[in-house]
Structure 1
Amino acid sequence: MAESKLARLRAEHRWFDHLIRAGSRYTEQYGAHYAAAVTYFSVLSLVPLLMIGFAIAGIVLTSQPGLLAELQAGIAEAVPGPLGDTINDVVKQAIDSKGTVGVFGLLAAVYSGMGWITNLRDALTAQWGHAKADLPLLKTTLKDLLALLGLGVALVVSFGITAAGGWFAHEVLEFVGLAGAWWAQVLLKASSILVGLVANWLVFLWVLAKLPRKPVSWRSAVKGAAAASVGFEVLKQAGSLYLSTVTTSPAGAAFGPVIGVLFFANLVAQFLLFITAWTATARENALRDPPRPPPPAIISPVVEVRSGPNPRTALGLVGTGLLLGALFRRRSR
């Protein structure tokens, strides 16, 4: 009864049938397993990125002693006591060893980034229904490195569009003298969200169309990128709400951000792979099933051994003998 009802719902609602097909593709292509691998390398990449950030901050703070003093004073005021002194010591050590930290951070970032982009490309390729092929190592590594750089450029462009759009809208409100109006602030917030959606759409369009190892057309990824853009914005708002709620307690302040990063990274990875499966199983993108090959031919030789002629042959021989006997008798007369 449940199966017939499900089949009826799928027949009546195309969007529901599409979701079912996307879920089946996600499950059959091990979406959760791929998401776990992407999450691991995502979190692993945070450490070298923080190292590079410390190195850059060290270079900036070294040339700005006044800014360094303000930072140390702010840390001592925000975290008084021995813990504040420890944090200031860590900052001083990071500044003193900024060159070493930057080099090791860059090498670690390249390693973890390559693992991240490799698993991400394999996961996206699987959700498009393409089998994993044996590819040459050097050529594949080079393509993965170029894909990583391309994604980095796409992210920079996305953040640049978001920042420029928000700044431009704020400047316009300042220029016309409406910066203090509540409705203008609401309009500014809505416009920043809209610009963020456009920026996210560009990034997801790149991810869905260019990161799979098999070519995918831009047109095939347009709808999926739009859905991913809206969903990712919702996830960001939920993540910020989660962190603001968890960090209110001492235990949450210590472990909440770490758990939040892990949970958010895995949620985004699963969401992206499901959107890819949803895009790939659309009717205009679904791969046509190849015709089934004919069953294999079975050759089985049959050897028949007979001790004498079959009935038809025997009857023919008897008839021939009678005819010859009659002819011979006529001639003998």
Structure 2
Amino acid sequence: MRWRRVRTRHRWLDHLVRAGVRFHQVDARRLAAAVSFSAFFAVFALGLLGFAVLGYVVDEPVADQAVQRFLDEHLPRMDTDGLRAARGTAGLIALVSLPVIGLLWVGALRSAIRAVWRVEEYPGRFLIRWLIDLLALAGLGLLLAISLSLAFGAEALLEWLLDTTGTNQRPASGWLLAAARFGLGLAVNLLLSIAVLTALPRLRMTIRRVLPAALLVTGGLELLTSLGRLVVERAQANPAFQLVAGAAGLLVFLVILNQLILYSAALTATATTGPVKDLATGQHLAN
């Protein structure tokens, strides 16, 4: 009885509990594991595409120096000559595999989020659903590209302003740039989180309903990324850990992240703020 009174008094706590119950009822841990399986291979395909793009970017002398500094810091065993040599093969493999694996990942995450909402997981005909998933994958990629471009552009503008005003040598300028990078990164993650929780499962809802859940995903992703950096740094100092830290660490990261996404989906599903429409069926969902 006391617990019920506490939940009644604190509505935010009651909402968290109801979301946890929904998470358990739909067996979201199993769903997250299935999504992580597809995401695991999608990350490798995306990484190949990234290395292929870098392999062409390094033809510019300025970019070559910047990429080499990045490789020296994060991948000391690789250099820009290796990127140039592998860019053709890596790009071909990525372009062939990424759409297929990406579609599997999008389909798995879409069906998992819709399962949390207790609506039809595979709505419509297969071909139409496949095409919509392909558009969703392209849309997420475009949103990521635009968001990162704006973030990098804003950071470059800030650096230019600091150089122009002659304040780039002051200690405060370093803190300002770090804060700007952190804030821009959070903004990019927030936009992607909102898209994953709404556009991917084809659900239309108010920003007031989805924003708390999207903020949870954003904060959780930032925390997981920070912990991942610490693990990678520790693994680099121990050769025995290097053998398994990469793949195993990535898999653990994806499982936790997808569980967080599905719990956030449960938060939106059990919220009572604003209407929700299932764009796949045209039906309005009850709160």
TM-score, structure 2 as length reference:
0.81
How do 1:1-333 and structure 2 match up within 5 A? Answer: 4-57=1-54, 59=56, 91=82, 95=85, 99-285=88-274, 288=286
Letter aligned with residue 99 of structure 2 = V
Q: Deviations over 1:135-190 (max 9, x none)?
A: 21110000000000001111112222322222222222222222222222222212
Letter in 1 for 2:41: L
Instruction: Mark the runs of 5 or more structure 1 residues left unpaired by the alignment.
Output: 290-333
Q: Quote the Cα distance in structure 2 between the aligned partners of 1:43 and 1:158.
A: 23
State whether residues 147 and 188 of structure 2, in contact with CA within 8 Å, keep that contact through their aligned partners in structure 1. yes
Cα deviation 1:279-313 (Å, max 9, x = unaligned): 22122158547xxxxxxxxxxxxxxxxxxxxxxxx
SS of corresponding position for 1:211: coil
Between structure 1 and structure 2, the one with the greater Rg is 1
Bigger mean CA deviation after superposition, 173-182 or 44-53: 44-53
Is contact 2:7-2:14 (8 Å) kept? yes
The separation in 1 between residues aligned to 2:135 and 2:271, in whole angstroms, is 29
Match of 1:308 in 2: none
- The alpha carbon displacement at 1:6 in A equals 2.5
Question: Which letter does structure 2 place at the counterpart of 1:18?
Answer: H
Distance (whole Å) between structure 1 residues aligned to residue 180 and residue 88 of structure 2? 41
**8 Å CA contact retained: 1:122, 1:213:** no
The answer on whether the counterparts of 1:161 and 1:199 sit within 8 Å (CA) in structure 2 is no
Partners of 1:232 and 1:268 within 8 A in 2: yes
- Give the Å deviation of 1:242: 2.4
The verdict on how the C-alpha distance between 1:50 and 1:28 changes in structure 2, with shifts beyond 3 A counting, is same
Structure 1 residues 133 and 95, CA, compared in 2 at 3 Å: closer, same or farther? closer
SS in 1 for 2:198: helix
150 and 177 in structure 1: CA distance in 2 versus 1, 3 angstrom threshold = same
1:62 to partner: Cα distance: 8.0
Does structure 1 conserve the Cα–Cα contact (< 8 Å) formed by 2:20 and 2:263?
yes
C-alpha distance 195-53 of structure 1, shift in aligned 2 (>3 A): closer
Of 147-156 and 50-59, the range deviating more from structure 2 = 50-59
1:329 maps to what in 2? none
The sequence identity of aligned pairs, in percent, is: 29
What are the superposed Cα offsets for residues 55-92 of structure 1, whole Å, 9 maximum, x if unpaired?
4455567898xx69x97xx99xx98xxxx7xx89x949
Q: 8 Å contact 2:117–2:266 — kept in the other structure? A: yes
| 8 Å contact kept, 1:205–1:221 | yes
CA distance in 1, matches of 2:146, 2:57: 24
Asked if the contact 1:151–1:206 (Cα under 8 Å) also holds between the matched residues in 2, the reply is yes
Structure 2: 5+ residue stretches without partners = 276-284
Residue type at the aligned position of 2:38: F
Once the two structures are overlaid, the 10-residue window that deviates more, 197-206 or 134-143, is: 197-206
Q: Which residue of the partner structure matches residue 310 of structure 1?
A: none
SS of corresponding position for 1:194: helix
Instruction: Let me know the Cα RMSD of the aligned residues.
Output: 3.1
CA distance in structure 2 between the partners assigned to 1:45 and 1:235 by the alignment: 19
The answer on whether the counterparts of 2:193 and 2:218 sit within 8 Å (CA) in structure 1 is yes
Q: SS of the counterpart of 1:275?
A: helix
